[in-house]
Amino acid sequence: MSNIPSFGLGTFRLQGQVVVDSVRNGLELGYRCIDTAQIYGNEAEVGQGIAESGVARDALFLTTKIWVDNYARARLIPSLKDSLAKLRTDHVDLTLIHWPAPDNGVALDEFMSALAEAKAAGLTRQIGISNFNIELTKQAISAVGKSEIATNQIELSPYLQNRKLVEFLQGQDIHVTSYMTLAYGKVLKDPVIGAIADRHRATPAQVALAWALQLGYSVIPSSTKRENLCSNLLAQSLQLTEEDMAQIAALERNGREVSPAGLAPVWD
C-alpha cells in the first residue's frame, strides 16, 4: 500500500510569484504535501516557495508529473532530473505519468518501465499514474506490478464520482487521489452542498473536500488566498453524516471538466 498524505496543496494554473506565495503560505499554515507537474511550468517557483518557507525537505511530500513529451525512455529520467533541479531536491516522493496519451507514439510499457527505473535510481520514492482508465491501469499493472503503482490521480468531484474506476482501483489496492474536487468551483454553488455546509457551520468547499476524504481519497485543492488555504485544511476535522454522504452521492452527473483530445483515454 502507498503512504500518500490525504491532504495536499495543488498548484495547477498558478504561475510566478502567485505560486511562490501559495506554497509558502500553505507550508506556514501546516500543509506538508505539494503537488506540481512539468507542464504546469511552476516547478522552480514551487522550489523557491519551499526554500523560503524554511520547512525541512524531509518533512515534505512532493509530487510531480512527467509530461507526454518526456515519455520516451531516453527522455523520462533526464526530464525528472530537470524537475528535481527546479524543485531544489535530490528526489521527489511521488512521480506520476500525467496523461496516458494513447496515441503519442510511446508504448505504455516503455514509459512505465522507465518510471520504475527512476524509482530504482532513487529519484522518486513512489510512482503512479494520472488520468488512466481501467484498461490502461490494467496495462500499467502488467508493466510494473500493482504494488508499484501508488496512486491513480483522477478528476473526481461530487459531480463526477467515477464509481466504476474507483471500485476497480480500490480492488487493486491502488490509492485514489482526487483532483478538481470542487469542479472548478461549480460545486461551491450547489444548493445541496450549501445546505449541508449550513448544517455543519462549514463552507461548501470544506463539505466537498470532507466528502472525498471520508471516501478514503486524497485531495489536493489549490488556492491563492491564505484564508481559503487555511479554511480548506479544516475539512479534515469535518465529520459528515451518512445522510450528508448519501445526498452528495446523488449529485453524480458525469460532470467532467478536463478531457484533452489526444491525451485522455476513453473514459469508463
Q: How far apart are CA 165 and CA 183, in angstroms?
A: 18
Q: How far apart are CA 254 and CA 228, in angstroms?
A: 27
Q: Is 224 helix (H, G, I), strand (E, B) or coil?
A: coil
Any residues with CB less than 8 A from the CB of 254 and at least 6 apart, and which?
159, 160
Q: Is 158 helix (H, G, I), strand (E, B) or coil?
A: coil
Q: What is the CA radius of gyration of the chain?
A: 18
Q: Is 144 helix (H, G, I), strand (E, B) or coil?
A: helix
Annotated catalytic residues are 40
Q: Is 127 helix (H, G, I), strand (E, B) or coil?
A: strand
Contact 73, 108 (CB under 8 A): no
